[in-house]
Structure formats: C-alpha cells, structure tokens
Amino acid sequence: MNDSLKPPTSGGGNGKYAAIGVLLLLGGGAGIWALTRTEPAPRPVAVARDAGPAIVTNPSVGAVIELPPEIPDAGPPPDVSTAPRIRYVTRYVSECSGTLSDPGGVQRTAQSNYGAMRACYERELRANPTLRGGLTAQLKINTTGHLDAVQVSTGMSSRPLVNCVKAALMRVTFPPSRGGCALAEVRFNFTPRE
C-alpha cells in the first residue's frame, strides 16, 4: 500500500511539550529558591587560649573601623533669605588715557556727517520698511583725530546697517585727543521720512 495514503498516527507531540514545561518550572523554582534562601549564621570565631596573644582561627574580611567621638555641629543651616548677598562690581579700566580737546566738537562733527549715516539707514529701509530706532556709536579717537575703533550698539536688527555706519564713521576726522587716545559716544535716531 502507498505510504501517502495512510492516515496520520497520533504520536507523543504534546507529551514532548509537557516535559519541556515541567523542566522549565522545576528550573525556575530552583532558581528562585537559590536567590531567596538565607545564608546560615557564621560559626563563632574560635580563639586559642594560651600564655601568648590571642590567635584568631577564622579571620574577618576587613579591619575594624573605629568611629571618632561625635562633635557637635555649628548649629542649624543658615537661612537662605538672610544670608549675605555677594555683589560683584566690575570696573573697566580704560585703555585710553587721553582726553578730548573739544567734546562739543565731536558731537558737531558727528551731526555734520549725519547724511552718510542716514544714507546707510535709507538703503536698509528699502529691505525692511519697519526699521526704526536709535543707534549709539562708541568712538576711540587718536591724537590725529582719526578713529582707531568704533563699536555700534542698536536695537535694530540689521547687521548691514551697523557695518555701513561703522565704515562711514571711520572715514570722518574728529577733533584730536590730547595725551593719547580718548573715548567718545555719539547717538543717532533713525525714523522713515514721511
């Protein structure tokens, strides 16, 4: 007879899985028992008594640590609300020791060259029609009246405007300083023309 036509025989397929399950349960139970069992109490240390020093037959693992006597603390922790507040004061030492020969002349010279700064503003106003505000320039004037450095600060967020104003101020000759370079500050206010 042909083997392919024989009905399937039922074998021990399920018994195999049952045996594996029982083995897993026993192994898991043994693992849990090993993890949770308590260690037996250590045996007392046997000390040999004779005329000499005591000899320990079961040495301990570490040295005995003696704690120093308790020292009273300095009191309760400081109250944060009443703790002194540290205030840092920073003083900037000017790198320029000179003085302006004509402080009013610096302002007049800056105002007479306002057209160059206004041209910078007008150019940037085309790119940003809402551009308006004040601009402060700190000038470092040398003994020849030329600028060694310019720092510009403004609330208007336009890097091209700041760079253009710096370049325009660097071309201006101011009244010279005496005794070395001197610092001066000029302010401009820009609003669109109506």
Question: Which H or E element spans position 162?
Answer: helix 159-170
Would you say how long the chain is, in residues?
Answer: 194
Q: Quick check: pTM over 0.85?
A: no
pLDDT surpassing 80 at residue 187: yes
Burial class, 132, CB count within 10 angstroms (exposed 0-12 / middle 13-18 / buried 19+): middle
Q: What is the pLDDT of residues 104-161, one digit of tens each?
A: 889 899 999 989 989 999 999 898 888 899 999 999 999 999 999 999 888 888 899 9
Q: What are the structural domains, with CATH classification, of the chain?
A: 103-190 (3.30.1150)
Q: How confident is the model at residue 165 (pLDDT cuts 50, 70, 90)?
A: very high
Q: What is the CA radius of gyration of the chain?
A: 46
